[in-house]
Amino acid sequence: MTGRVLEGIRAVEFGQFYVGPYTSEALAYFGAEVIKVESIRRPDPTRWFGSTGGPDPKIIILTDPNKSVGFNELNLNKLSVNLDLTKPKAVELAKKIAEVSDVIVENNRPGVLDRLGLSYEAIREVKPDIIYLSASCRGSTGPERNYAGFAPIFGSLGGLSEITGYADGPPAPPIGGRTDIVCGTANAFSIITALIHREMTGKGQYIDNSDSEVISCLVWDTIMDYNLNGRIQTRRGNKDDIFAPHDCYRCKGEDDWISIAISNDEEWRAFAGAIGNPDWAKEERFQDAYLRKKNEEELDRLISQWTISHTKYEVMDILQKAGVAAVHSFSSKDFFSDPHLKERGAFTEVEHPVIGRLTVMNPPWKLSATPAEIVRHAPLFGEHNNYVFGELLGMSQEEIKALMDEQVIY
Amino acid sequence: MADKALEGVKVLEYASFVTGPYCSKLLADLGAEVIKIERPGGGDEARCRGPFLNDIPHPERSGLFLYLNTNKLGITLDPETQTGKKIFLELLKWADILIEDKPPREMEGIGLTYDKLKEINPQLIMTSITPFGQFGPYQDYKAYNLNIPHGAGGGYLTPGGSPNAEREPLKGGGFFDDHIAGLSAATVTVIAFYHRIKTGSGQHVDVSKQEALMALNRTEITNYPNMDTIATRVVGSSALGRRPPPCQNGYVQIAALLDWHWVSFKEFMGNPRWAQDTKFDTLDGRSEYGNEMNDNIEEWTRGHTKEEIFHGLQGRGVPTAMICNAAEVMSSPQYEERGFFVEVEHPEMGKVVCPRGLGILSRTPWALEHPAPLLGQHNREVYTRLLGYTREDMVRMREAGVI
Amino acid sequence: MSEKALEGTKVLEYASFISGPYCSKLLADLGAEVIKIERTGVGDEARRRGPFLGDIPHPERSGLFLYLNTNKKGITLDPETQTGRKIFLELVRWADILIEDKPPKEMEELGFTYDKLKEINPQLIMTSITPFGQTGPYRDYKAYPLNVVHGAGSGYLAPGGSQNLEREPVKSTSFSDDAACGISAAFATICALLPRWSTGVGQYIDVSKQEALMAMDQVELCQYPNEGKVASRKVDPRMAIRVTPCKDGDMMIIAMDDRQWKGLVSMMDEPEWTKDEIFKDILSRMQHMGEMLKNVAPWAMQHTRDEMYHTGQERGAPVAPIRSIEEAANWQQFKERDFFVEIDHPKAGRISYPSAPYKLSKTPWEGGAAPLLGQHNEEVYSTLLGYSKEDIVMMREAGVI
């Protein structure tokens, strides 16, 4: 163990929902001290979102900001302070925190922090080498800079929704926080490269990330087809350009599926052998990649007849042993009984002082020298007012109390 | 000339297709010097994948390859030959970072494990990107771009808003999921490099594509142990809409999540009578009565174009999208004004438009200065100038199938 | 545009490296339309063989490949895939001639035996070029250019004039022996065209490289059954024909019949030793060739190659300089006969090639560049065979083409 990578780096987060919070959570995994700035007048809305749980969950609005399981998952390892930024004194305090920090992360609508007096230019005056990242749906410049969006919105604007879905169905925007966390990862990447640059040159910078641009970058191969050939790609389910079989096939059980992809003739022969060399697998129309693709519909039908009589675990086991890429479609339940993820330690637990014991996902990378870690639950609302204002900024208990009474620390 | 964030960082790429190459492209586009190793003969798999310029298949005309390999130096090398392995190790001595995507067994087979490599280059950062990571019972399992999103649980959730589970789960479109794994690997790689700047130590970074994608659905996944809820693509009723409502000329996506979004939305629709019902006034209400609400919304959207709805609702602060296809992405005035489209001049393909990069960095901008390398384009530069082989050596090594 | 001898003749080449490609090059250079099949991805083996233009190894810069594949159309195809096999058969239907060099077993496994192919194209001429032919116990043996030369006995004869058998038999540095097999196969193939033109009959030509090369040394080989003499590279030094060093290089000096001998004697200004009894007639001279060369040597060292060459040839002596490749390329004789022609190639640029080893007055040789890997895929697959653009993309991604 040679220490945590971002030990000594302090980041201030003015974040909400997923993108901003995940950006700074990724930094916190590596030991950065992340201070999340919120106010009871405008807390991170995720704090209010709850669920009834169980097999048929309903969204509920929470009344306690410390009870959201989702918030916990996105704000691990962080600290929380309260500042009502509509008050000039609070803005001054925010600047004081920035002065002793290295990174700012924010994902408000472009212009919001500027109006509050916390623009990049304003922060740079107190901390010249600050690295300041703004993330928004469309970026902080351009005619659509004020357009807002959550994951399904920028997923759709970036070109992802159009190409995701059944060939005969409507576009399928991503579920949950998928694309949010992708954008958060892209933000963390940019911040680290800026930290590297600062380490080398002593210079900070402003980073303006557009969530929809990030998504476009990740589907550019399909956009390239338009640029090169004028072809507009659309939805095609699980299908591939050329590989067949290449789909999810129903297995024994309820909503149980196996994904099977075969990329060459060797795998095809291995597949045929593994399923007992049925006569149809020897037919000429399936003997090379081009023919399998041409006769895909029939091929899919025949494969389904085999998979339906086996469990998804059996199929994955039989085919992987034969060297065929087959992975079942994991439901969230499956992850917690999976031997592989268990051995890799994909999950851990944190003790949340209000909610109790919670399972959280570990950072998805294994570093041999400086592992990324989850060391604490998401902060309770304002949990670190004393540490930040007292220890970090050197204010006395009286001063802090006075500012609380004035609803500056609020 | 602007500064480059990763100026002077030396990267060796021994990877193919999408994930590994995208990972090192992200470093190359920020100024790292990337030497990409391709198999002699056929080269990177992406070279035989479309889209091909004018649909004419050719290893130097693949748009996929061109996009994923900008700014790199390309050499051919077969590390499975004895000489190839020796050269690989010479390059490794040169490199700060190795990015590889080979099955763990294959790397072991040719003696290129991290433990061996760090003897040669103690400061090396080695980023290994494989379907299931370097250890664990599935370490040798095969998985293509189809299998990973299903193994990571994202498939089970797609397409969201399905009326039932009759139909199969889906992967994301294009090679979206593969790109994400590449981005995830690039992120942890620069973190490891930052650590190296501070301390001088390298390390082995084990990236499991499964876990990289699981991280995206972390909140849905942990809902099982924490809330006893199994998230699925079947959504009975939702405030965010079942699926994108169809409109006159396509689809839109409206996310009236917050209460004030809903008020603006109602106004924009002209405050129809159904929307006056107070049961829709809260998020939990809109969720509970989502089906009824969405039926009504769809009836309204069908009467409008996606442009009207998109700009009209966004103008009132309601998070809304029109669902854009490639042509619409390419004609976005927003992208245009932000300089998102960059032309790259390629010797075989001419001018090709690529995206600028993941964002705007004020001091160290993304720069697409060089097109993807032709197969073996930089053999001479690397083998003679960098490693000191003679031209004759190069000819012999080519004839021997080493390079 | 002049007429071409083999205009309209359609050749399918499923061959690689030297012999097969050279065989069909000879037909292509005479105007036949040759479609060359190369392996998907890497292509012809010659592409990874030097000499490379500027010593930069690149599949489109191999001088060997560029030379051996002029005037052909190139496509990529893997006949080992099911679809590739089907396309191969479509091309066989199109072709008049198939030239192939695959091991017999491989062709059998693919179902590409002559018997099968003639069902598809009854008039087909199929020329198979393999190390040991299609029959006999060695038919499945492997042999590279090295092995073929030695298997044919030519290696045993080289280097000729060795004093003893201490050192190993050798082959020449170039691939000339493999090229010779190609010429041999091309000749047989053209011979088969004649009856096909008159009667429409196709046939199968089984070329064993071993036999093709043996035929070149048939005089020496037949000394054994006829005279009981085993020819070898070892020659009695008194008889041995050797290279003679001179002032600026080496010469080949031979004098057999009386006219040649007189010319040689005159070239050297009639030195005393030429009057010796042992040089009095052709038989005696042949038996003392070594002796003769020993006597020529001191004189030769006083003269240059050009002096000897021009004076000797003028006076009827068959003497010739040993030229380096560079000298040969710049030789005035070649220049005047326009032996070297320049051909443009999209990757290798404009470089010089040897033209045909013959001059036909009515149907002269014309040079066209070797194909890039898969250069004519579109022309062949869409125009000739009628596949759609989409099919072509799919077949590429499937590794068929």
pLDDT tens-digit readout, C227-241: 888 888 887 777 777
Q: Is the pLDDT of residue C1 over 50?
A: no
Q: Which of residues 4-23 of A touch B (CB under 8 A)?
A: 5-6
Q: How far does Cα B125 stand from its chain's mean position?
A: 21
Do C305 and C352 fall into the same domain? no
**Distance in angstroms (rounded) separating the CA atoms of residues A323 and A317:** 10
Whether residue A242 lies within 8 A of chain C, CB to CB, comes out as yes
Q: What is the CATH number of the domain that holds C302?
A: 3.30.1540.10
Is C99 found in the same domain as C73? yes
Hey, is the C-beta of A288 within 8 angstroms of any chain C C-beta? yes
Alpha carbons C353 and C113: distance in angstroms, whole number = 36
Q: For position B262, what pLDDT does the model report?
A: 93
Q: For residue A206, what are the β-bridge partners?
A: A132
C228 domain residue, yes or no:
no
C-alpha distance from A121 to closest chain B C-alpha (Å): 12
The stretches in chain B having pLDDT less than 70 are 1, 236-242
Domain identity same for C30 and C168: yes
Strand order in the sheet with A33-38: A79-82, A33-38, A10-14, A103-106, A131-136, A205-210, B360-361
Which pLDDT score, from 0 to 100, does residue C58 have? 87
Q: Are B309 and B247 in contact (CB under 8 A)?
A: yes
C48 vs B40, B70, C370, CA distance in Å?
A: 10, 26, 15
Pairing outcome for strands C10-14 and C33-38: parallel
Q: Which chain B residue shows the shortest CA-CA distance from A233?
A: B326
Distance from CA of C397 to the nearest CA of B (A): 6
Q: Residues of chain C with pLDDT > 90: what percent?
A: 39
- Which of C55, C56, C389 faces B55 most closely, judged by CB atoms? C389
pLDDT at A2: 44
State both tokens at A275: 């399923």
Residues in chain B within 8 Å Cβ distance of A147: 314, 319
3-class DSSP string for chain C: CCCCCCCCCEEEEECCCCHHHHHHHHHHHCCCEEEEEECCCCCCHHHHCCCEHHHCCCCCCEHHHHHHCCCEEEEECCCCCHHHHHHHHHHHHHCCEEEECCCHHHHHHCCCCHHHHHHHCCCCEEEEEECCCCCCCCCCCCCCHHHHHHHCCCHHHCCCCECCCCCCCCCCCCCHHHHHHHHHHHHHHHHHHHHHHHHCCCEEEEEEHHHHHHHHCHHHHCHHHHHCCCCCCECCCCCCCCEEEECCEEEEECCCCHHHHHHHHHHCCCCHHHHCHHHCCHHHHHHCHHHHHHHHHHHHHCCCHHHHHHHHHHCCCCEEECCCHHHHHCCHHHHHCCCEEEEEECCCEEEEEECCCCCCCCCCCCCCCCCCCCCCHHHHHHHHCCCCHHHHHHHHHCCCC
- According to the model, what pLDDT value does residue B235 have? 74
Kindly tell me the burial class for residue A405, based on how many C-beta atoms sit within 10 Å of its own C-beta (0-12, 13-18, 19 or more): exposed
- The chain-wide mean pLDDT, for chain A, equals 94
Whether the predicted pLDDT of C318 surpasses 50: yes
Residue C237 lies in a domain: no
Annotated domain spans of chain B: 10-216+337-399, 246-322
Tokens representing residue A80 in the block: 């929380």
User: Do C82 and A291 make contact, defined as CB atoms within 8 angstroms?
Assistant: yes
Contact A134, A204 (CB under 8 A): no
Residue % of chain C over a pLDDT of 70:
100
Same-domain pairing of C310 and C375: no
Is A73 close to B219, i.e. CB distance below 8 A? yes
> Which chain C residues are within 8 Å of B55, Cβ to Cβ?
389-390, 392-393
Alpha carbon of C109: minimum distance to chain A alpha carbons (Å): 15
pLDDT for C155: 82
Last residue of a domain, one of C293, C324, C355: C324
pLDDT at position A320: 96
Is pLDDT at A99 greater than 90 in this prediction?
yes
For residue A12, give the H/E element and its range: strand A10-14
C36 and C140 together in one domain? yes
Q: Tens digits of per-residue pLDDT, C116-175?
A: 999 999 999 999 999 999 999 999 999 998 898 888 888 888 887 787 888 888 888 788
List CB contacts of B222: < 8 A, sequence separation 6 or more.
A69, A73, A332, A347, A358, A359, A360, A361
Q: Are residues C99 and C211 in the same domain?
A: yes
Q: In CATH, what class is B10-216+337-399?
A: alpha beta
Using the Cβ of A105 and the Cβ atoms of chain B, whether some distance falls under 8 Å is answered with no
> For position C355, what pLDDT does the model report?
82
What are the CA-CA distances from residue C237 to residues C160, C240, C246, C286, C291 (Å)?
11, 5, 20, 12, 8
Please give the structure tokens belonging to residue A181.
Answer: 């966390």
The CATH topology of domain B246-322 is formyl-coa transferase, domain 3 (3.30.1540)
What is the residue range of C288's domain? 243-324
Same domain, C284 and C361: no
**Chain C residues 73-92 within an 8 A CB cutoff of chain A:** 81-84
Q: How far apart are CA A133 and CA A135, in angstroms?
A: 6
How far does B55 lie from chain C, in Å, by closest CA?
7
The chains in contact with chain A, meaning 3 or more Cβ pairs closer than 8 Å, are B, C
pLDDT confidence band for A1 (50 / 70 / 90):
very low
Tell me the per-residue pLDDT of B141-186, one tens digit each, with 9 for 90 and over: 999 999 999 999 999 999 988 888 899 999 999 999 999 999 999 9
Residues 71-130 of B with CB under 8 A from A: 114
Alpha carbon B280 to its chain centroid, in Å, reads: 38
C80, C168: one domain: yes
Q: What is the pLDDT of residues B217-249, one digit of tens each?
A: 999 999 999 999 998 888 755 656 567 899 999
Whether residue C4 is contained in a domain is answered as no
Nearest CB neighbour to B176, from listed A160, A185, A241: A160
CB atoms within 10 A of CB B87: 23
Higher pLDDT, B20 or C309: B20
Which residue type does A351 have? E
Residue A360: is its pLDDT beyond 50? yes
In a domain, C389, yes or no: yes
B342: contact with A, CB 8 A cutoff: no
Residue A31: closest CA among A367, A349, A347, A374: A374
Q: State which of C324, C349, C367 marks the end of a domain.
A: C324
Q: Is residue C373 part of a domain?
A: yes
Residue A261: per-residue pLDDT: 96
Predicted pLDDT of residue A3: 57
Cβ within 8 Å, pair B395-C389: no
- In this prediction, the answer to ipTM > 0.90 reads yes
Helices A265-274 and A312-321, axial angle in degrees (round to 10):
130
Does some domain include residue C223? no
Predicted confidence (pLDDT) per residue in A116-146, tens digit: 999 999 999 999 999 999 999 999 999 999 9
| Whether residue C211 sits in one domain with residue C268 | no
| CB proximity C58 to B under 8 Å | yes
Q: Is residue C391 part of a domain?
A: yes
Least confident of A383-397, B134-148, C8-22, C258-272: C258-272
pLDDT for the residue A47: 95
Q: Is residue C397 within 8 Å of residue B48, measured between CB atoms?
A: yes
The whole-angstrom separation of Cα A15 and Cα A39 is: 11
The per-residue pLDDT for C342 is 86
Does C198 lie in the same domain as C74? yes
pLDDT tens, residue by residue, C84-111:
999 999 999 999 999 999 999 999 999 9
Q: How many domains does one find in chain C? A: 2
User: Are C138 and C207 contained in the same domain?
Assistant: yes
Cβ count near C106 (within 10 Å): 14
Distance set, CA B240 to CA B94, B161, B235 (Å): 52, 9, 10
What structural domains does chain A harbor?
10-218+345-405 (3.40.50.10540), 246-335 (3.30.1540.10)
Among C42, C51, C393, select the one facing B52 at the smallest CB separation.
C393
Residues of C in contact with B394 (CB under 8 A): 55-57
